[in-house]
Amino acid sequence: MNYLKTILSITCTLLALTAAQPVSAQEDTASRHSRLTVGGYGEAVYSYHFYSDNVFRYSHADRYADSKGFGRLDLPHAVVMLGYDFGHGWTVGTEIEFEHGGVEAAVEKETEETGEFEQEVERGGEVALEQFWVQKSFGRRLNVRAGHIVVPVGMTNYNHTPNMFFGVYRPEGENTILPCTWHETGLSLWGRLGSWRYEVQLLPGLNAFLFNDQGWVHNGSASPYEFRPANQPATAVRVDWNGVPGLRIGLSGYIGNSFNNDIVTDERSTRYADVKGTVMIGAVDFQYRNRYVVVRGNADYGYLGDASAISTHNKNQTTMSGNPYPHTTVAQAAWDASLEAGVDLLALWGNTAKRLYLFGRYDHYDSFVPSEHQNDVGWCERQVVSAGINYCPLPEVTLKAEAGVRLLAEQYNNEPYCAMGVTWTGFFK
């Protein structure tokens, strides 16, 4: 009830502001052609992993120490972005993402099996509507956005296009412990005040039934249904400062309850009567860029209340046939810290038309920091060290190559890899 009252109060305030907003003559005369925005980004990747991908490689590490490894071709993201400016401060934005090649499924008639019709999946992957919103701008200081929006918690969610990180894949730590790219249907207020940018969002809470050991709350924003359960409200906040040329520093956070945020609830069970599953996340990130260097870094920490009770509940869900839950424990906390830096070799030699970055990256994260009632999962803490090059023949195109190693605790096998890819990011109009 409080959730609905909050939404109604905000809606009434926005309607009043909209009625009082004067119409700009410049907006009235803008051509419809110039109001349409078309863009996107994409990645094509080849990687080779010099270790086993067997599901028992951690529980029986000695059996897979001499694995020859495996190779992969991948289309991590292919995104189409469309936007339109209706004038008078009203705009819309959409972002449709095809992950790992999309989903190819078909029904076929099998001539060798007495004419049976069979459904086949020809290629895995996902198709996601990551953004679909309407925005009303009241000026530089206040904009209101409603619909399906990106949650800007952490560095990668705030800047997730492939030209905003050096590695072939997105930074591993944030991409493991947080939803990434995190998108929810909700309400956002944002604006700029001098050197500051702020954003406050009202969202549905994460779903504790989808948490797990390896990814902490990463899958909590997903929904296996045709709708998103929204029994629990949540809030996300982000503030960025750009007071020094080339430097941006950001602080972001999230808080919301996650238990019973599903179509299956245990509200009648006295065992879980006091369980809320409060998720709290705090993050700091920065970027510094000049003609010669780019440096980026971030640190994230997350806490989950009632982690032991949620772990017990999720493991007991195995009694429900066909349910979509992972049935694993989830940690009380998770954290990540990373730093990457690149030097533009061509700029050092006086060439500013193209870019050739030599970069190094370090990432240290742990997706399972246990409570006093939980046992540690040692393989969830990892350090990732990598280096490589990014060549930009055009501002919109980047060729990437990288080699690195994932360092685990002594009882496990380290995981070296190499990867290369081609990416693009841009707008056509």
Model confidence over 11-32: pLDDT tens digits? 444 444 444 444 444 444 445 5
What confidence score (pLDDT) does residue 102 get? Answer: 81
Locate the domains of the chain by residue range: 38-47+76-102+118-427
Which letter, b or e, does each residue of 41-71 get, where b requires 16 or more Cβ atoms within 10 Å of its Cβ?
bbbbbebebebbeeeebbeebeebeeeeeee
* Separation of alpha carbons 187 and 241, rounded Å: 23
Tokens read off for 321: 């046939």
Q: What is the mean pLDDT of residues 359-370?
A: 97
Model confidence over 211-242: pLDDT tens digits? 999 999 999 999 888 899 999 999 999 999 99
As separate numbers, helices (DSSP H) first and strands (DSSP E) second, the chain gives 7, 19
Amino acid identity, position 408: L
Confidence of residue 264 (pLDDT cuts 50, 70, 90): confident
Task: Find tokens 């017990």 and name the residue.
Answer: 312
What confidence score (pLDDT) does residue 107 get? Answer: 64
Model confidence over 289-334: pLDDT tens digits? 999 999 999 999 999 999 999 998 888 875 556 677 888 899 999 9
Q: Cα separations (Å) of 334 from 194, 195, 301, 323, 326?
A: 34, 32, 6, 26, 18
pTM above 0.85, yes or no: yes
CA torsion angle 132 138 143 146 (round to 10): -40
358: pLDDT strictly greater than 90: yes
Nearest Cα neighbor of 233 from 205, 253, 258, 265 is 205
353: pLDDT strictly greater than 70: yes
* Separation of alpha carbons 81 and 158, rounded Å: 16
What confidence score (pLDDT) does residue 57 get? Answer: 93
Tokens read off for 407: 């360092």
* Separation of alpha carbons 229 and 208, rounded Å: 12
Which letter, b or e, does each residue of 381-396 get, where b requires 16 or more Cβ atoms within 10 Å of its Cβ?
bbebebbbbbbbeeee
Least confident stretch, 183-192, 198-207, 265-274? 265-274
What confidence score (pLDDT) does residue 293 get? Answer: 98
Taking all residues of the chain, what is their mean pLDDT, rounded to a whole number?
A: 88
**What is the 8-class DSSP label of residue 216?**
B
Tokens read off for 357: 């970055």
Which letter, b or e, does each residue of 329-348 get, where b requires 16 or more Cβ atoms within 10 Å of its Cβ?
bbbbbbbbbbebbbebebbe
173: pLDDT strictly greater than 90: yes
Terminal CA-CA length for the chain = 44
Tokens read off for 68: 């020859």
What confidence score (pLDDT) does residue 272 get? Answer: 82
Nearest Cα neighbor of 425 from 131, 77, 149, 129 is 77
Tokens read off for 264: 């299956």
* Residues 169 and 419: beta-carbon distance below 8 Å: yes
Model confidence over 84-112: pLDDT tens digits? 999 999 999 999 999 998 877 666 655 55
9: pLDDT strictly greater than 60: no
Task: Find tokens 């685990």 and name the residue.
Answer: 408
What confidence score (pLDDT) does residue 316 get? Answer: 80
What SS3 class is residue 353?
Answer: coil
Share of the chain above pLDDT 70, in %: 86
What confidence score (pLDDT) does residue 119 get? Answer: 66
Helices (H), 22-114: 25-29, 32-35
Angle at alpha carbon of residue 180, lines to 174 and 185, rounded to 5°? 140
* Separation of alpha carbons 325 and 319, rounded Å: 11
Amino acid identity, position 322: G
Q: What is the mean pLDDT of residues 114-123?
A: 65
* Separation of alpha carbons 128 and 106, rounded Å: 19
Confidence of residue 356 (pLDDT cuts 50, 70, 90): very high
Model confidence over 26-81: pLDDT tens digits? 444 445 558 999 999 999 999 999 999 998 999 999 999 999 899 999 999 999 99
The CATH number assigned to the domain with range 38-47+76-102+118-427 reads 2.40.160.10
Q: What is the mean pLDDT of residues 257-286?
A: 86
